[in-house]
Amino acid sequence: MKRLLSTALVCLAACTTAITLPAFAQTAKQRSAVQGTTPYAERSEAMQFAADIAARRDLPLSWVQATLGQARFLPQVPRLMTPAPQGTAKNWNAYRGRFIDPVRIRAGVRFWQTHAAALARAEREYGVPAEIIVGIIGVETVYGQQMGNFRVIDALATLSFDFPQAHPRAAARTAYFRGELEQFLSFTHRSAMDPFALRGSYAGAMGLGQFMPSSWVKWAVDFDGNDHIDLFASPVDAIGSVANYFIAHGWKPGMATHYPVALDSTPEQMSELLGPDILPTFTPERMLALGARVQPPGNAHNGPLALVELQNGADAPLYIAGTENFYAITRYNWSSYYALSVIELGAEVRAAREAARAPRAR
């Protein structure tokens, strides 16, 4: 996924469910948001982009230009988007340790206990296991504790007009963030909300599940049934929306996410196996022919698989056979490391919750 609104508001166009301004937007913590510098009113390309948005979206030109003009450049954001130097070793164990720790597991158990009914309903209605939803929300925001303190409009404007040109996909990423900025401006205007009140990540993601503006518009749902979508203050809406996102991105109910795999491949066979990256491409039989033996029950898996490599610095990599559901998790954030962290955090929280519920021996 890298990688995308609660006091009475007007209904969003093309939606039948109202979206409300998050109550947390008025807290002292949120008022001390990360501050920007130069306003984009001083940038001619930003003002021209505002005019283009107004024309495409049938929005008042004066409002779009005034709103975008008040967005401010965040100098730290381009630095955060700059990729690691080429040749930097990846380390699955270190990555895993960032997200799977006792503090996050305990928070996950509390979240699951509090929202068990909503998680069970999401699993029943969407077919997405509760532990996957719990894993996503835990990795993204520690169950709402870390939703970001950047003004979303500043983050999106910075990434739209000052994306780091050293990035290998700078042009594509700039286009992506301009689309998100356009969606955000249209979204807030049609919902009669304050575009400067919303806080999120340095990439402009919002709420417990860190939805980008386009994801919010397309896949957020009113799962608590109060006629408002609030991914900030309604964990139930966040739970349903994460499940809905996965179904929209190819989640197959009942399918495993991955299987262990034993390797006895030549360098040429490994090159073929790793060529598609995380895209499921091979049958278990084809993987076996290439020296990768998927362990039971994955050897009888019905569907394509990918050989996923997770490097471990100077140590040997970890290899797994990823299914279409593993790939679906990477639609949230394009990273096999991220996907396996989500899976393993959810499994750790489930195990801790079950252990806490088990009767103690007398």
Phi and psi, residue 34, nearest 5°: -60, 130
Whether 131 sits among the annotated catalytic residues: the reply is no
Who contacts 198 (Cβ-Cβ below 8 Å, separation ≥6)? 5, 21, 22, 25, 151, 152, 153, 188, 206
Cα 263 to Cα 308: distance, rounded to the nearest angstrom: 12
Region for residue 144 given its phi and psi (left: phi exceeds 0; alpha: psi -120 to 50; beta: otherwise) = left
Contact, 264 vs 291, CB < 8 A?
A: yes
Contact, 121 vs 128, CB < 8 A?
A: no
> Active site residue: 123, 131, 140, 182, which one?
140
- DSSP-assigned letter for residue 260: E
Cα 1 to Cα 210: distance, rounded to the nearest angstrom: 10
Positions marked active-site? 140
